[in-house]
Amino acid sequence: MNQPKPIQLIGSPPSPYTRKMLSILRYRHIPHRMIWGDPGTVLPSLGIAKPKVGLLPTFVMPDEAGELQAVCDSTPIIRRLESEYQGRSVIPNDPAMAFIDYLLEDFADEWGTKYMFHYRWQAEADADNAGTLLPLFQMVDMPADKLAQFKPFITERQVGRLHVVGSNEVTAPVIDASYRRLLTALETHLQQQPYLMGKRPGASDFALYGQLSQLVGFDPTPRAIAHAISPRAVAYSGLMEDQTGIEPADTDWSTAEDAPSSLKGILNEVGRVYAPALLANAQAMQAGEKTWETEIDGCRWAQQTFNYQGKCLQWINEEYQALSKSDRSRVDLLLEGTGCEAIIF
């Protein structure tokens, strides 16, 4: 029998995007091999060239000519897997909900990572935890003297990158308040249904899970906050790790009309913090500015401009424009009053 070749991916347990993608491969019953390690070391040993930007996870997938190559960026990889493997889709069948799923996936990937990186490296107890564990997740039997060298190196490098996600003394309370509000919204939503997208998980569920795998499962400060605010989000992150056993049906998806109002609670957070960040970033890109500044949640937020997040805004709008007129109106109803309307052109 002709078995499909397992997909290889290289990543690490403390990487939210690695956990997101591993969980999707499991859920979708796609044969895979998880290689724990550093793509910079593993790829040459597989005889494969490194990608331009080496991110975790790095997938090893055939190009158009069938040659294996290194591929990064979880969002397009999810869509490629949808076209190459049938069944157990992570894209909702209602086009309006597919848009909401896309928006929430983007929010979890791009804003959720601010929670993750901020809590991981800001407070000393968290940085100490991550500084020890990150090297050990690369090599569990690392000699003690090597770990003693590695730990301060990685800790200083990552603490020095906090500003990249916009985390500093001024924005710390904004990030913290946003995380707490999201947990509160999740606690309400998960009382209605087991996933963001209904009775089966969408891409946004896996993206959210990726961040929660760290916030709940790795870093002490956000773990304590999650346990205090949303026991359901804690349980959800444990369950999302492995969804191989559920048998999803077409009718398990929420539709724009029957989605519980708690979904709006989550969209409110997107509109409150992520929408202004996307808009300020896009304006800075247009003006050719390397940094931007805006007010987020009543506070001055300054950070560097990211081309990638400019593309995120463009892709969100392309998804929206691809909808029929009536589906756009159905999306508009869901977004009404959330602040997300501002990012749709």
Ligand X SMILES: N[C@@H](CCC(=O)N[C@@H](CS)C(=O)NCC(=O)O)C(=O)O
Query: Site residues (CB under 6 A) for ligand X?
Result: 15-17, 55-56, 72-75, 109
Beta carbon nearer to ligand X, 9 or 197: 9
The overall longest dimension of the chain from CA atoms, in Å, is 63
Rounded-to-integer distance, Cα 226 and Cα 217, Å: 10
The CB-of-191 to ligand X minimum distance in angstroms stands at 29
* Sole residue written with tokens 């968290």: 126
Tell me the sheet residues that pair with 296.
299
CB of 149 to ligand X, least distance (A): 18
Distance, in Å, from the CA atom of 257 to the CA atom of 96, rounded to the nearest integer, reads: 10
56 or 98: whose CB is closer to ligand X? 56
Q: Which is nearer to ligand X, 96 or 278 (CB)?
A: 278
Place of tokens 């809590």: 119
Cβ neighbours of residue 41 closer than 8 Å, sequence gap 6 or more: none
Which residue's C-beta sits nearest to ligand X? 74
Write down the least CB distance from residue 207 to ligand X, Å: 8
> Which residues are CB-contacts of 221 (< 8 A; sequence separation ≥ 6)?
119, 123, 125, 126
Least distance from ligand X to the Cβ atom of residue 40, Å: 10
CA distance 247 to 308: 35
Q: How far is the CB of 9 from ligand X (least distance, A)?
A: 10
Cβ closer to ligand X: 16 or 95? 16
Burial, 226: exposed, middle or buried (Cβ in 10 Å; 0-12, 13-18, 19+)?
Answer: buried
Closest to ligand X by CB, 92 or 210 = 210
Nearest-approach distance from CB 111 to ligand X, in angstroms:
13
CA neighbor of 263 nearest in space, from 200, 210, 188: 188
Give the pair of three-digit tokens for residue 62: 């055939």
Q: Calculate the alpha carbon distances from 46 to 10, 88, 156, 201 in Å.
A: 11, 30, 31, 33
User: Least distance to ligand X from the beta carbon of 56, Å?
Assistant: 4
Minimum gap (Å) between residue 245 Cβ and ligand X: 26
Structure tokens at 333: 């109803």
In this structure, the number of other CB atoms found within 10 A of the CB of residue 79 comes to: 13
Q: Around Cβ 298, how many Cβ atoms within 10 Å?
A: 8
